[in-house]
Chains A and B, each alone.
Chain A
Amino acid sequence: MDKNMNILVVDDFSTMRRIVKNLLIEIGFKNIAEADDGKTALPILEQGGIDFLVTDWNMPGMAGIDLLKAVRANPELAALPVLMVTAEAKREQIMEAAQAGVNGYVVKPFTADTLKNKIDKVFERVES
């Protein structure tokens, strides 16, 4: 896993973005961009250069699940690894995210270890 990869963190709560960003820095990542919902995230992704997307589900404007579907529908972005970090924990939602092609799913509240493990797993699978 390349620690210099560009990561986009999408969450409508700035405090949660800061927490995720700090944990990613702690893991060793250096290049982290932020967006506050799917609508602002999508243009950043479409510009290219993002290697890993970490997104919340429940956001105004464009929800994380719709962002995931938009990513998978775009041939340029379809292979982008996506980790959902969200408080949404209904069975049907997790199944919907899995069907939409999510690479990992972390429920809030989460620990630093959980986040690290799930990121490791995402890239184990992507790289294998």
Chain B
Amino acid sequence: MMHSENNVTLTGSSTATESLIRAKELVNQLELGNIEQADSIISEICKTRENDLFQDVGKLTRELHQTISEFGGDSPLNSLTNKEVTDARHDLKYVVGLTEQSANQTLGAIEESVPLLNSLSEHAINLQKLLNGQINEPTKSVGFESIAAEIDSYFAMVIVETKNIHQHMNTVLVAQGYQDITGQIIQRVSTMLQDVEQSLLAILQVNSQHINEDELNKSAKNNTGYGPSVPDTDNADVMQNQDDVDELLSTLGF
């Protein structure tokens, strides 16, 4: 599939000396007033040029035809675009779903756990107050027996609620299982993208001289945003972390 070794170039076969000889002869005939001779030299030059051009166009057409038929048949790019890219799209959709599900499970478990922890803490603070009151000002206290009963019910509460919190922690634990699955899927998609990249590079190499660099490098400004940047991608325009952002903002007077 690689044709880089026989790239088509539109160069004529006639050499500079040949052209010079013809040109001198043309001038010579014109000076002598031999219009017919001069005309025949001109058409001879044109014919050579045409032959060169036809040869080059023919070669180019053959190359293109070969490339297209290779890609059209059982080429990797064909199966990549037909099946694997579609599969990858489904795979990535699944990744989005899995990560969302996991985040929701984790957030749910946390939202259920926090009030339990708060209530345990509040009860403990109240009990501590009661107990301190009993020790420091026994006459004003509700009495030790009453405090003992409170402590007993608190222990019962701790036993039940820590079990509940433990269950929520297990939910968080299990929810992290998404990483294994999404990691494998993303790796698979990444390998597929590498194959596509290589196939596209092969096309680029065949047709390199017909591609306008500016077109390739063109990138539009996007007001809705670019999405997350990935750390260590070596782009000076992108802040790598909050410290970078803070530094930039401080230069702007923040």
Chain A 95-107 interface 0/1 with B at a Cβ cutoff of 8 Å (1 = within): 1001000001111
A89-B249 in contact given A63-B224, A108-B228 (Cβ < 8 Å) = no
Residue of A nearest to B106 (CB): A15
Check if A59 sits within 8 Å of B249, measured CB to CB: no
Check if B239 sits within 8 Å of A107, measured CB to CB: yes
Chain B 202-234 interface 0/1 with A at a Cβ cutoff of 8 Å (1 = within): 000000000000000000000111111100000
Q: Say yes or no for A94: interface residue by CB 8 A criterion.
A: yes
A residues in contact with B190, CB < 8 Å: none
Interface centre among B114, B223, B224, B239 (most CB of A within 10 A): B224
CB distance from B45 to the nearest CB of A (A): 55
Give Cα A117–Cα B24 distance, bound, in whole angstroms.
84
Which residues of chain B from 237 to 252 have any CB-CB distance to chain A below 8 Å in the complex?
237-242, 244-245, 248-249, 252
B residues in contact with A59, CB < 8 Å: 224-225
The size of the chain A interface, using a CB distance under 8 A, is 31
A residues in contact with B237, CB < 8 Å: 90-92
A residues in contact with B120, CB < 8 Å: none
A residues in contact with B104, CB < 8 Å: 14-15, 18
CB distance from B229 to the nearest CB of A (A): 5
Check if A93 sits within 8 Å of B225, measured CB to CB: yes
A residues in contact with B111, CB < 8 Å: 18, 22
Check if B224 sits within 8 Å of A91, measured CB to CB: no
Residue of B nearest to A84 (CB): B245
Chain B 86-119 interface 0/1 with A at a Cβ cutoff of 8 Å (1 = within): 0000000000000010011001001100100000
A residues in contact with B114, CB < 8 Å: 22
Check if A88 sits within 8 Å of B100, measured CB to CB: no
Residue of B nearest to A61 (CB): B224
Contact of A107 among B110, B226, B227, B242 (CB under 8 A): B242
Check if B226 sits within 8 Å of A58, measured CB to CB: yes
Give Cα A104–Cα B224 distance, bound, in whole angstroms.
19
| Other 20 A-B pairs with CB < 8 A, given A90-B238, A106-B245 | A18-B103, A19-B107, A57-B225, A58-B224, A60-B224, A64-B225, A65-B223, A66-B223, A87-B227, A89-B228, A89-B245, A90-B226, A91-B237, A91-B238, A91-B248, A95-B248, A98-B252, A107-B239, A107-B242, A114-B242
Residue pairs across A and B with Cβ atoms less than 8 A apart, 27 shown, are A15-B100, A15-B107, A18-B103, A18-B104, A19-B107, A22-B110, A22-B111, A58-B224, A59-B224, A63-B223, A87-B229, A88-B226, A89-B238, A89-B239, A89-B244, A89-B245, A90-B239, A91-B237, A93-B225, A94-B245, A94-B248, A94-B249, A95-B248, A105-B249, A106-B242, A107-B241, A110-B242
Interface residues of A (CB under 8 A from B): 14-15, 18-19, 22, 57-60, 63-66, 86-95, 98, 104-108, 110, 114
Interface residues of B (CB under 8 A from A): 100, 103-104, 107, 110-111, 114, 223-229, 237-242, 244-245, 248-249, 252, 254
Closest 3 CB pairs of A and B: A58-B225, A87-B228, A15-B103
